Chain A
Amino acid sequence: MTDARDKTASGGDKDQLVSETYREIAQEKTPEHLDRSILDTAAKSARPRYSLLIGWTRPAAWAATIMLSVALVYEFSQTPELLQPKMDASAPIADPEESAERDKRGRVIKNAEDLQVQDMDLLQRADEMARIQQGQDDQPAQLPPRQKEHAPAAAMSAKSALQSNDMLEDGTNPCGATATAEPESWLACIMELEAAGLTDIAREQRALLAETFPDFDSR
């Protein structure tokens, strides 16, 4: 239908004559060299894009990538400290009661260290008093003049130290472990307590001293 309409529109018989005449003159053939050139191009293009010489590059690149990835994973697995911050961040938050208990223990340890420093001073004083006591067997032990001057201050500091912490409440020895290790230093501590006016504590300490060291003369 379309062809018939087209033929009518373009001239019908006139078109037929023109076509026959054209077919008589249109006898050219493609040159042989052109055929050869195009067929050669088509044959070359149909070959594989990658030759055997460079065909190894793609699998080699894949292998290198895989080996590098494995090496990186192994390296990270051998260095756990790099992951530590992340693990700490993910740890649960500490209990507030545990934190308070830990802070209290820290304060007690610090006070004990301070008391140990004071015990060293007391130990030195006890040595001096022991020497005085050996020279005056019948006389009651007296503090040397220098100690008399400093006794109230030392006693006040000892009292404040004792009152500042809860050692008395805990029932521990107010003279400390270092002072009570030797009877002389213990006695010096007792004397300082007496000089500070803590007679009840001094009396208890003296009784403890007599029990602990029965051979020692604590008078």
Chain B
Amino acid sequence: MAANAPTISRGSLALPRTAESAYARPMDHSPEDSALMLRYRDGDVAAFEILYRRHNDALYRYLLRLCQHRDAAEDVFQEAWSKIVKARGNYRPTAKFTTFLYRVAHNCFIDHVRRNKRHSMTVNVEPDSQADPGDLPEMETERSLARRRLEAALQQLPDEQRDVFLLREEAGFNLDQIASITDCNRETAKSRLRYAVNKLRAAIDEPVGTS
């Protein structure tokens, strides 16, 4: 997997010119996001805090599973938000704020991979907090196993497939938005997502004895 990491293309920071792809599936609070960012551009710090609290956890989880290392994820997370803060003066609400935010985060991750050769397969994500499967009822045990298998399969996915899957699950982006963020065409994003889901589903459906 480490060999696959540097192959991820780095998307441009420029916002998409056409709103067709960026607004293919409107999110619930996108207008407020842009308005909050514009207010922060004018000096309203409280608006930025609202914006940050709205997206911080999802972005953190995206980077945590993308980087597969807590310290690296925190560094990239902080760098991404710092770039958002610095770019406030040039911000124009021509695209959804979430698209802008995740593209910046994606590019920060690519920079981190290129910069840090120690990017490895170290798994440092918090372990499943559920109890040992042997102490739980059968149904709960199956769900716990499914979660463990999914977590392990997610870590085994190529970076490109994991990136596409996480963008869909954490931010709810459609294929056009994912293609825009990851700087690839729609069909490539669709193919990566299909491979990722198939592998994860296969891991969840794996017989108990083989885990």
Contacts and interface: CB of A to CB of B under 8 A. Distances in A.
Contacts of B56: 30, 35, 38
Given A18-B204, A28-B64, A38 B57 contact: no
B115 to A, nearest CB: 20
A30 B57 CA distance: 5
Contact of B86 (A10, A11, A45): A45
A143 B46 CA distance: 127
Interface string A15-33: 1011101111110111100
Given A11-B194, A34-B77, A28 B40 contact: no
B198 A14 contact: yes
Interface stretch (B1-9, B106-114, B168-176): B168-176
A6 to B, nearest CB: 5
B32 interface: no
Nearest to B175: A6
B28 to A, nearest CB: 15
Contact of A42 (B45, B143, B170, B193): B45
Contact of A18 (B82, B170, B197): B197
B160 to A, nearest CB: 15
Contacts of B57: 28-30
A43 interface: yes
A11 B168 CA distance: 14
Contacts of B150: 18, 21-22, 25
Nearest to B82: A41
Nearest to A34: B74
Nearest to A33: B74
A37 B125 CA distance: 22
B52 A38 contact: yes
A105 B52 CA distance: 98
Contacts of B200: 18, 21-22
A39 interface: yes
Interface string B108-143: 000000000000000001101000000000000001
A83 interface: no
B187 to A, nearest CB: 10
B94 interface: no
Contact of A31 (B74, B86, B176, B198): B74
A10 B44 CA distance: 42
B24 interface: yes
In the complex, which of the residues B143, B170, B201 has the most CB atoms of chain A within 10 Å of its own CB atom? B201
A2 interface: yes
Given A10-B193, A11-B197, A46-B43, A38 B169 contact: no
B49 interface: yes
Given A2-B176, A15-B197, A26-B61, A38 B82 contact: yes
Nearest to B125: A28
Interface in A117-134: none
B193 A3 contact: no
A31 B57 CA distance: 9
A87 interface: no
17 contacts: A3-B25, A6-B174, A6-B190, A9-B190, A10-B190, A11-B194, A21-B200, A24-B143, A24-B147, A25-B128, A25-B147, A34-B78, A38-B85, A41-B85, A42-B45, A42-B48, A42-B85
* Among all A-B residue pairs, the 7 with the closest Cβ atoms: A30-B60, A14-B201, A30-B56, A38-B81, A18-B200, A42-B48, A43-B45
